[in-house]
Structure 1
Amino acid sequence: MAHHGLRFMFILAAGLLLLVHAVAADDFNIADNATAVKRGITLTPALNGINFPDPSVIRIGNEWWAFSTMSRYNGKRVHVPMAHTFDFNTWTSFGERDALPNLPNWVYPDAPAVWAPDVVQLGPGRFIMYYTAALKSNPKFHCLGIASASIVTGPYTPIGPDPWACPTAQGGAIDPAGYYDQASNTRWVVYKIDGNSLGRGGACNNMVQPIVSTPIMLQQVRVDNGFTKIGAPTTLIVNDPADGPYVEAPSLTRMPDGTYVLYYSSNCFVTPLYDVSYATSKNIRGPYRKFGGLIRTGKYGLTAPGGLDLAINGVHAVFHANWNGGRAMFTALIRGQGSQLQVYVKSS
Structure 2
Amino acid sequence: MKRFHRTGALLATLLACGGAAQTPASPPCPGPTAAGTPLAQLGARGPQLLLDANFPDPFVAQFGKTFHAYATGNQVGGAQRNVQHIASTDLTRWSEAGEAFPAANLPAWVDRQHPQVWAPEVMKVGPRYVLYYNARHATLTRTEAPPGGPQVMKRHCVGAAVADRAEGPFVGIDTPLVCSEFPNGVIDASVFREGDQFTLTFKDDSNCCAEGSAIYAQGLSADGLAAVGPATRLIANNDSPGKEDDWEWRVVEAPTVAQRHGATWLFYSANFFGNKNYAVAYLKCASPRGPCVDRTDNPILWSHRETKLIGPGHQSILPVAGRDLLFFHGWNADPDGREQPGVHKRCLYVGRLEWRPIAGMLRARVAGGKPSRGDGADVP
Residues in 1 aligned to 2:278 and 2:112: alpha-carbon distance in whole angstroms = 30
Q: Secondary structure at the match of 1:311?
A: strand
Q: Secondary structure at the match of 1:131?
A: strand
Residue pair 1:280, 1:339 contacting (<8 A) in 2 also: no
Among 138, 144, 149, the alignment partner of 2:158 is 144
- Displacement after TM superposition at 1:218 (Å): 0.7
Q: Secondary structure at the match of 1:152?
A: coil
In structure 2, the residue matched to 1:164 is: 177
Are positions 1:238 and 2:251 aligned together? no
Are positions 1:303 and 2:326 aligned together? no
1:14-53 correspondence to structure 2 within 5 Å: 25-30=36-41, 44-47=48-51, 49-53=52-56
Residue pair 1:141, 1:168 contacting (<8 A) in 2 also: no
Residue pair 1:166, 1:172 contacting (<8 A) in 2 also: yes
1:1-348 correspondence to structure 2 within 5 Å: 25-30=36-41, 44-47=48-51, 49-95=52-98, 97-101=99-103, 102-123=105-126, 125-137=127-139, 138=141, 139-160=153-174, 162-167=175-180, 169-182=182-195, 185-199=196-210, 212-223=211-222, 225-240=223-238, 242=246, 243-255=248-260, 257-291=261-295, 292-298=298-304, 299-312=306-319, 315-323=324-332, 325-336=344-355, 339-344=362-367
Relative distance call for 1:31 and 1:332 in structure 2 (3 A) is closer
For these two proteins, the number of residue pairs brought into alignment is 299
Greater alpha carbon shift after TM alignment, 275-284 vs 299-308: 275-284
Greater alpha carbon shift after TM alignment, 327-336 vs 66-75: 327-336
Q: Secondary structure at the match of 1:148?
A: strand
Residue pair 2:70, 2:86 contacting (<8 A) in 1 also: yes
Q: Aligned letter for 2:219?
A: Q
- Displacement after TM superposition at 1:94 (Å): 2.4
Question: Which digits, 9 at most, give the CA deviation of each residue in 1:26-84, with x for residues without a partner?
Answer: 3442599x9xxx8xx6x55323x111100111111222101111211222211101111
Relative distance call for 1:198 and 1:333 in structure 2 (3 A) is same
Q: Secondary structure at the match of 1:283?
A: coil
Residue pair 1:258, 1:282 contacting (<8 A) in 2 also: no
Q: Give the gaps of 5 or more residues in structure 1.
A: 1-21, 200-211
Residue pair 1:108, 1:135 contacting (<8 A) in 2 also: yes
Name the Cα RMSD after superposition. 2.8
Residues in 2 aligned to 1:326 and 1:168: alpha-carbon distance in whole angstroms = 33
Residues in 2 aligned to 1:345 and 1:56: alpha-carbon distance in whole angstroms = 22
Residues in 2 aligned to 1:44 and 1:315: alpha-carbon distance in whole angstroms = 14
Question: Which digits, 9 at most, give the CA deviation of each residue in 1:186-234, with x for residues without a partner?
Answer: 11111001111221xxxxxxxxxxxx231101111123x0122222111
Residues in 1 aligned to 2:36 and 2:366: alpha-carbon distance in whole angstroms = 15
Residues in 1 aligned to 2:88 and 2:35: alpha-carbon distance in whole angstroms = 17
Q: Give the gaps of 5 or more residues in structure 2.
A: 1-32, 142-152, 239-244, 333-342, 370-380
Residue pair 2:161, 2:171 contacting (<8 A) in 1 also: yes
Q: Secondary structure at the match of 2:55?
A: coil
- The alignment's TM-score, normalised by the length of structure 1, stands at 0.78
Question: Which digits, 9 at most, give the CA deviation of each residue in 1:115-146, with x for residues without a partner?
Answer: 001100112x3111111101121343211111
Identity, % of aligned positions:
27
Question: Which digits, 9 at most, give the CA deviation of each residue in 1:291-325, with x for residues without a partner?
Answer: 42111011410111110012349723311110251
Residues in 2 aligned to 1:73 and 1:175: alpha-carbon distance in whole angstroms = 23
Q: Secondary structure at the match of 2:167?
A: coil
Residue pair 1:132, 1:142 contacting (<8 A) in 2 also: yes
Residue pair 1:65, 1:83 contacting (<8 A) in 2 also: yes
